[in-house]
């Protein structure tokens, strides 16, 4: 074992090996530049407790995995693939000699699912765990499960640069926490606020040009995504001489292009690297002493109700901003420029949200079913996945035939899981095998998971054609992957060329889209809208199947699709197009109508009106219409509104079993209070106001109804004998009353069984407000003197006694002459 270089993490290496040898688990917190990624695995290689077991190092990205393996191999004086190798989706370099395998996080999850005992593995190291990818969270949960049930001798080490250490340590049952300092030179952090409306690439170009002229060294610029990097590179073109290389760095680039971005600059040259968050951690770009941070990143946001993942540009976290700035001080003093106002830094979130809280979990649920787990709480996740997203994922997997109605893995589901594809695409490959087109389906799957292949066309038919003839190492590796994915699936051979749209129907049946009116505007089977630019060739297609889209659910922008016909749907998805009678709420007429419709989900192909409907289905349709329009469409009488406010007040004050009267709560319980009391209504104009009152009262338990008048009376009876309405529509019950009517009252009026005082809005004889109080006796004894002095001059014909609590109440003025 050659001697290892001296880096900041070196002094804690004995602590790490000792902790893993004794406790089997440990957490290492070390900042960027400490050397943890390369030195820790190499140090553990020489530990006696390792035996001959492999060390698995998990990295969040392929670029980081290749770089880590290359660096460790060079320290050993070897080539990658000997003692140190790597394994990822499109590239493997391992051999029988390999004892350290650097793998991407998704590959590790598949390794452990296929070999639950991890029979040849001694230690699993989770690097850069602070990024909290879905695969890393799942991989750690599986590793802990294996360690506790099957492999007590398995070692687990979690490493991170910025991490909520205590939460992770608690998940690991409080193992030793080892902290290492980093090696960092001084960094001058500066701020340059971007004017409102200025494009981020324009601000970035201005900053880059300025620093290039005034400072030496290479520049690392962080931008949110590929589009901004491309536009920035275009604006920089021709501004510098041949001694300056402009190098983009993002995930869709080829290995050769990525390596060029991180390779040290040639002597006498400098580099401007335009990168996404890919350059935050795990890799070092030699020569960088200037970092310019846009403060933005692009994160996927999954909408469970539509099954659509959209990319959203958001502010980076404080942890990410610190990581980015730290890149400027790795080898010498540096400068970090942040393109935002300094005061905004404190408002940044502390950490980037974990993917498990905002991702499509269908793949996770499929893997859990393979693992024999249906309740996610039985595994140790740092953050439990949202139940709503899990539920939607199960529903999709049942639709795709991967799970049965009880949530168990089907025979088809087992085949789909073995494909190492997202479940939708796996279902497409399996179905395509029945028609002899598994290879084409696999090629489409690779196109959709490896962006940039086959060009940038929205038309997947065109991209598939280009991909089949595309040159280059990445394209060839991707085609080989498609060949492996499709092996053994073609049950029949087919000489016909596959049609992309027909294949995609098996992956995205809910995203079949029908053009609605204008060119390029569509409605999908899931009820959501989608659109294409009118200039796109596909915008003239009557029907599409959409594989990828972005933007808000109401009107998504289509990113990848293929045309399809109704005949294709009838062949590929028999029985999905149905003709049935529907009772529905017509928003335009505000009436319930009936029709016979031929449809695919929300897409209606043909329809014919039916006679005006009646019965229970009508009221349910009316209730559904109100859920869309809102309760303000209901003809509540004044008495019904007050009843709702009184009951709502008791719910807020006393709680259950007094029912919640908020819009949201009432919309959730339409079957309890609306439909039973509106049996004759066929439209909004037919709704009975008295039925609304009776329905609201029906929500109150019968034994409490008699207490309503006592606890929340409609009126207050003044000492004069007159009744005044109590208002319950505000934060607290309020009584507006002329002050003379309360003369002689020594106790403050209250409701809710005397527990809550009324807010008294006391008025003058002209009904103008003069005082509000929650303590009438205190008002009489205190500020009444000032009110009396003011009011006597304004209203001399009305009584203003010195002792109002002993005076007679009145509604009248004093007789003339008194």
Residue 281 lies in a domain: yes
Average pLDDT on 27-44 reads 90
Q: Tell me the longest C-alpha to C-alpha distance in the chain.
A: 117
Q: Within a domain: residue 154?
A: yes
Q: Specify the pTM.
A: 0.74
Classify each residue of 691-703 as buried b or exposed e, where b means 16 or more C-beta atoms within 10 Å of its C-beta: bbbebbbbbbeee
Q: Which of 30, 95, 38 is nearest to 70 (CA)?
A: 38
In this structure, the number of other CB atoms found within 10 A of the CB of residue 487 comes to: 11
Give the model's confidence band at 86: pLDDT under 50 very low, under 70 low, under 90 confident, else very high: very high
Identify the pLDDT of residue 445. Answer: 94
**247 and 124 in a common domain:** no
Q: What is the DSSP string of 152-192?
A: TT-EEEEEESS--HHHHHHHTTS--EEE-------EEEEE-
Which residues, 6 or more positions from 642, have their beta carbon under 8 angstroms from its beta carbon?
Answer: 714, 725, 728
Q: Which residues form the domain of 121?
A: 8-179
276 and 196 within one domain = yes
pLDDT > 70 in the chain, percent: 97
Phi-psi region of 767 (alpha: psi -120 to 50; beta: other; left: phi over 0): left
Written in H, E and C, the secondary structure of 524-560 is: ECCCCEEECCCCCHHHHCCEEEEEEEECCCCEEEEEE
For 652-664, the pLDDT digits (tens) are: 888 889 999 999 8
Q: Is residue 544 part of a domain?
A: no
Q: 490 falls in which pLDDT band (50, 70, 90)?
A: low
Q: How many Cα atoms occupy the beta-carbon half-sphere of 768 within 13 Å?
A: 5
Contact residues for 552 (Cβ-Cβ < 8 A; gap 6+): 310
Residue 164: is its pLDDT beyond 90? no
| Cα 378 from Cα 393, distance rounded (Å) | 18
Model pLDDT, residue 459: 94
User: Edge-to-edge strand order for the sheet containing 187-191?
Assistant: 187-191, 334-338, 288-293, 218-222, 270-275, 244-249
Rounded CA gap, 436 and 249, in Å? 39
**808 class by beta-carbon count within 10 Å (0-12 exposed, 13-18 middle, 19+ buried):** exposed
Q: Which of 554, 507, 222 is nearest to 362 (CA)?
A: 507
Q: What is the pLDDT of residue 488?
A: 80
Question: Confidence class of residue 555 from pLDDT cuts 50, 70 and 90?
Answer: confident
The helix (H) or strand (E) run that includes residue 479 is: helix 473-486
CB atoms inside a 10 Å sphere around CB 276: 21
CA 111 – CA 114 distance, rounded (Å): 5
Distance CA 600, CA 509 (A): 9
Query: Residue 282: what pLDDT?
Result: 66
On whether both 48 and 69 belong to a single domain, the answer is yes
In Å, how far are 232, 238, 455 from 221, measured between CA atoms?
Answer: 10, 18, 26
Question: What is 239-291 written as a DSSP string?
Answer: SS-TTEEEEEE-TTS-HHHHHHHHSPPPTT-EEEEEE-GGGSSS---TTEEEE
| CA-atom Rg of the chain in angstroms | 35
- Cβ-contact 57, 101 below 8 angstroms: yes
Q: CB burial class (10 A; 0-12, 13-18, 19+) of residue 40? A: buried
Quote the DSSP letter at residue 82: S
Q: Do 64 and 151 belong together in one domain? A: yes
Mean pLDDT along residues 231-249: 92
DSSP letter assigned to residue 405:
T
Going from the C-alpha of 521 to that of each of 510, 527, 528, 559, the distances in angstroms are 17, 13, 11, 14
- CATH (domain of 90): 3.40.50.300
Gap between the Cα atoms of 249 and 430, Å rounded: 35
Q: State the CB neighbour count (10 A cutoff) for residue 475.
A: 20
Q: For residue 811, which of 707, 741, 711 has the smallest C-alpha distance?
A: 741
Closest of 116, 173, 105, 120 to residue 146, by C-alpha: 116
Has residue 241 been placed in a domain? yes
Residues 317-362 pLDDT 10s: 998 898 899 888 877 899 999 999 998 998 898 888 899 998 899 9
In the predicted model, what is the mean pLDDT of residues 475-479? Answer: 90
Over residues 735-748, the pLDDT tens digits come to: 999 999 999 999 99
Q: For residue 732, is pLDDT > 90? A: no
Gap between the Cα atoms of 472 and 464, Å rounded: 16
> In this structure, are 135 and 247 located in the same domain?
no
d(CA 789, CA 796): 11
Asked whether the predicted pLDDT for residue 582 surpasses 90, the reply is no
Q: How much is the pLDDT for 174?
A: 92
Same domain for 192 and 313, yes or no, is yes
∠ CA(102), CA(104), CA(110), 5° rounding?
110
- pLDDT band of residue 286 (cuts 50, 70, 90) is confident
Same domain, 244 and 344: yes
Residue 362, φ and ψ in degrees, nearest 5: -65, -40
Query: In angstroms, how far is CA 193 from the centroid of its own chain?
Result: 28
The whole-number pLDDT of residue 305 equals: 64
Q: Are residues 63 and 166 in the same domain?
A: yes
pLDDT at 56: 97
State whether the Cα torsion 319-320-321-324 is positive or negative. positive
Q: What pLDDT digit, counting tens, does each position of 355-408 carry?
A: 999 889 999 999 999 999 989 999 999 999 999 899 999 999 999 999 999 899
Q: Bigger pLDDT: 274 or 754?
A: 274
Closest by Cα among 695, 685, 697, 670 to 616: 670
Task: Give the strand pairing for 529-531 and 555-563.
Answer: parallel
Mean pLDDT of 71-98: 93
pLDDT score of 613 more than 80: yes
For strands 734-738 and 723-727, give the pairing: antiparallel
Domain boundary among 179, 207, 231: 179
Is residue 446 assigned to a domain?
no
Chain-centre distance of CA 304, in angstroms? 9
For tokens 């749907």, what's the residue?
Answer: 569
Residue entry with tokens 């009107």: 555
Report whether the peptide linkage leading into residue 657 is cis, meaning its omega lies within 30 degrees of zero: yes
Phi and psi at residue 159, to the nearest 5°: -115, 145
Q: Is residue 689 part of a domain?
A: yes
Domain final residue pick, 150, 179, 208:
179
Q: Residues 788, 753: one domain?
A: yes
Question: Cα–Cα distance between 705 and 440 in angstroms, integer?
Answer: 68
Are 121 and 39 within one domain?
yes
* Contact predicate 83/116, CB 8 Å: no
Count of structural domains within the chain: 5
**Position 669 in a domain:** yes
Helix axes 423-433, 438-449, angle to 10 degrees: 160
Of the candidates 382, 379, 346, 12, the one whose C-alpha atom is nearest the C-alpha of residue 164 is 382
225 and 158 fall within a common domain: no
Task: Report yes or no: 264 and 330 within 8 Å, Cβ to Cβ.
Answer: no
Return the ∠ at Cα 661 (arms to 658 and 662), rounded to 5°.
140
Pair type for strands 334-338 and 288-293: parallel
Half-sphere exposure of 565 (CA within 13 A, CB side): 4
Of 353, 374, 390, the residue that ends a domain is: 353
For residues 480-505, give the mean pLDDT. Answer: 82
**Out of 93-97, 210-214, 235-239, 251-255, which region has the weakest mean confidence (pLDDT)?**
251-255
Predicted local confidence at residue 776, as pLDDT: 92
- Say if 510 falls within a structural domain: no
Q: Tell me the pLDDT of the chain averaged across its residues.
A: 89
Q: What pLDDT score was predicted for residue 176?
A: 94
Which parts of 458-590 are beta strand (E)?
512-515, 521-524, 529-531, 543-550, 555-563, 578-586
Using the predicted structure, report yes or no on whether residue 425 has a pLDDT greater than 90: yes
pLDDT grade, residue 121 (50/70/90)? very high
Residue 336: what are its φ and ψ, rounded to 5°?
-120, 120
Residues 372 and 393 in one domain: yes
């Amino acid at each position: 074992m050659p001697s290892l270089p001296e880096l900041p993490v070196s002094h804690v290496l004995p602590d790490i090996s000792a902790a893993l040898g004794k406790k089997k688990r440990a957490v290492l917190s070390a900042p960027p530049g400490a050397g943890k990624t390369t030195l820790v695995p190499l140090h553990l290689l020489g530990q006696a407790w390792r035996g001959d077991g492999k060390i698995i190092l998990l990295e969040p990205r392929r670029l980081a995995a290749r770089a880590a393996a290359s660096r460790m191999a060079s320290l050993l004086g070897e080539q990658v693939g000997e003692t140190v190798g790597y394994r990822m989706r499109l590239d493997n370099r391992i051999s029988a000699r390999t004892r350290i395998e650097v793998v991407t996080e998704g590959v590790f999850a598949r390794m452990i699912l296929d070999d639950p005992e991890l029979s040849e593995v001694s230690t699993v190291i989770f690097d850069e765990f602070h990024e909290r990818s879905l695969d890393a969270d799942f991989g750690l949960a599986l590793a802990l499960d294996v360690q506790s049930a099957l492999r007590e001798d398995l070692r687990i080490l979690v490493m991170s640069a910025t991490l909520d250490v205590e939460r992770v340590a608690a998940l690991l049952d409080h193992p030793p926490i080892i902290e290492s300092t980093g090696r960092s030179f001084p960094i001058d952090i500066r701020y340059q606020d971007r004017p409102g409306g200025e494009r981020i690439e324009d601000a970035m170009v201005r900053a880059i040009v300025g620093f290039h002229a005034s400072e030496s060294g290479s520049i690392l610029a962080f931008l949110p995504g590929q589009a901004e990097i491309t536009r920035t590179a275009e604006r920089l073109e021709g501004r510098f001489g041949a001694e300056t290389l402009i190098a983009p760095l993002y995930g869709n680039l080829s290995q050769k292009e990525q390596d060029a971005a991180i390779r040290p600059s040639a002597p006498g040259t400098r580099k401007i690297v335009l990168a996404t968050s890919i350059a935050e951690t795990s890799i070092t770009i030699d020569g960088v002493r200037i970092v310019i941070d846009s403060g933005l990143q692009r994160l996927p946001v999954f909408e469970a109700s539509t099954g659509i993942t959209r990319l959203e540009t958001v502010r980076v976290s404080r942890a990410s901003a610190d990581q980015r700035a730290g890149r400027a001080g790795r080898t010498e003093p540096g400068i970090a420029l942040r393109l935002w106002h300094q005061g905004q830094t404190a408002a940044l979130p502390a950490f980037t949200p974990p993917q498990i809280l905002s991702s499509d979990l269908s793949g996770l649920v499929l893997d859990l079913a393979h693992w024999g787990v249906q309740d996610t709480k039985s595994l140790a996740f740092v953050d439990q996945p949202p139940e709503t997203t899990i539920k939607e994922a199960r529903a999709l997997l049942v639709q795709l035939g991967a799970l049965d109605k009880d949530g168990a893995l089907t025979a088809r589901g087992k085949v789909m899981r073995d494909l190492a594809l997202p479940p939708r695409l796996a279902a497409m490959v399996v179905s395509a095998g029945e028609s002899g087109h598994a290879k084409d389906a696999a090629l489409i799957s690779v196109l959709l998971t490896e962006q940039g292949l086959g060009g940038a066309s929205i038309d997947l038919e065109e991209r598939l054609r280009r991909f089949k003839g595309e040159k280059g190492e990445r394209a060839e590796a991707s085609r080989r992957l498609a060949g492996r994915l499709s092996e053994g699936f073609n049950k029949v051979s087919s000489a016909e060329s596959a049609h992309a749209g027909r294949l995609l129907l098996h992956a995205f049946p809910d995203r079949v889209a029908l053009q609605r009116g204008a060119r390029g505007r569509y409605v999908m089977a899931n009820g959501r809208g989608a659109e294409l630019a009118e200039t796109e060739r596909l915008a003239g297609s009557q029907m599409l199947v959409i594989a990828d889209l972005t933007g808000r659910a109401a009107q998504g922008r289509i990113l990848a699709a293929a045309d399809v016909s109704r005949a294709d749907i009838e062949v590929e998805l028999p029985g999905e197009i149905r003709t049935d009678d529907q009772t529905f709420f017509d928003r335009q007429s505000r009436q319930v109508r009936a029709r016979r419709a031929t449809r695919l989900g929300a897409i209606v192909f043909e329809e014919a009106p039916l006679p005006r409907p009646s019965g229970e289905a009508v009221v349910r349709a009316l209730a559904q219409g109100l859920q869309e329009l809102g309760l303000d469409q209901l003809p509540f009488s004044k008495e019904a509104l007050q009843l709702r406010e009184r009951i709502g007040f008791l719910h807020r004050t006393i709680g259950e079993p007094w029912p919640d009267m908020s819009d949201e709560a009432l919309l959730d319980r339409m079957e309890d209070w609306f439909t039973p009391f509106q049996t004759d209504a066929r439209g909004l104009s037919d709704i009975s106001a008295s039925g609304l009152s009776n329905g609201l009262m029906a929500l109150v338990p019968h034994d409490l109804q008699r207490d309503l008048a006592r606890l929340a009376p409609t009126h207050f009876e003044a000492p004069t004998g007159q009744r005044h309405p109590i208002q319950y529509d505000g934060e607290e019950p309020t009584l507006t009353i002329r002050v003379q009517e309360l003369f002689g009252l020594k106790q403050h009026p209250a409701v809710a069984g005397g527990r809550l005082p009324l807010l008294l809005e006391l008025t003058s004889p002209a009904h103008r407000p003069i005082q509000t109080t929650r303590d009438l006796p205190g008002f009489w004894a205190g500020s009444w003197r000032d009110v009396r002095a003011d009011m006597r001059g304004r209203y001399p014909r009305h009584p203003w006694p010195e002792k109002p609590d002993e005076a007679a109440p009145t509604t009248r003025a004093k007789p003339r002459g008194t």
